[in-house]
Amino acid sequence: MHVTMNFEQARYNMVEQQIRSSEPLREDMRELLHVVRREEFVPPAFRHLAFADVALPLGHGATMLTPRIDAAVVQALKPRKQENVLEIGTGSGYTAALLAVHANHVTSIEIVPELADSARANLHRAGLGNVTVETGDGFVVSRSVGAQFDVIMLSGGLAQIPAELLARLKVGGRLFAFLGEAPVQTARLVTGVGEGAYRGQGLFETCVAQLRNAPVGTEFTL
């Protein structure tokens, strides 16, 4: 017997039970998670797990962040309507979609061409015209994309934050990164507090897929 999944009920349960019960969730974040339809960004074979608190495989060694982590990321970064965002590691495009709803524009860079194509299709279907997905090595392409950004999101793990990427963060801007290697990484929020000055804050421990080609050295420890 074929059973049709009730996505709206599953979405409600995700937001109001598994996410809201684990951390304080702003009202605008709850609305955002209801508006951006996560199941539209999940590979078809895993749509029935779209709202489970698991990292779903996207192929090519990539995974989607869990709903709980995505909510924590966007809530910490607090993108605003006048702000421009740089994301390295597009994946399915879901995190970019969440950021784009509250931002002016999101530039997202994905190293795997197949994932970049899929993300573009997902974002187009979601009606989000303020996201540009670039194909290439994010740590190389980002050097030629724009000047500085209000928000920078590193959507996978890396050893340290490259100094030249920190230099792309505006004063008052926020950068989110997963630092370290499996099995434990630290989610860190970095704020630009002055020209060449940054403040880092550890938010929680987790484990996500590593970003490809991430540089290993930097003069900054945050």
With CA atoms as reference, report the closest residue to 32 among 72, 89, 82.
72
For the entire predicted model, the pTM comes to 0.91
With 50 as the cut, is the pLDDT of residue 92 above it? Answer: yes
With 80 as the cut, is the pLDDT of residue 146 above it? Answer: no
The SS3 call for residue 39 is: helix
Across the range 19-39, mean pLDDT stands at 84
- The tokens for 58 are 């996207």
The answer to whether 91 and 64 are in contact (CB under 8 A) is yes
The answer to whether 149 and 207 are in contact (CB under 8 A) is no
pLDDT of residue 43: 95
- Band (pLDDT 50/70/90 cuts) for residue 218 is very low
Could you read off the pLDDT of 16-27 as tens digits, one per residue? 877 876 667 788
Q: Residue 194 phi/psi, 5° resolution?
A: 180, 175
DSSP-derived letter for residue 100 is: H
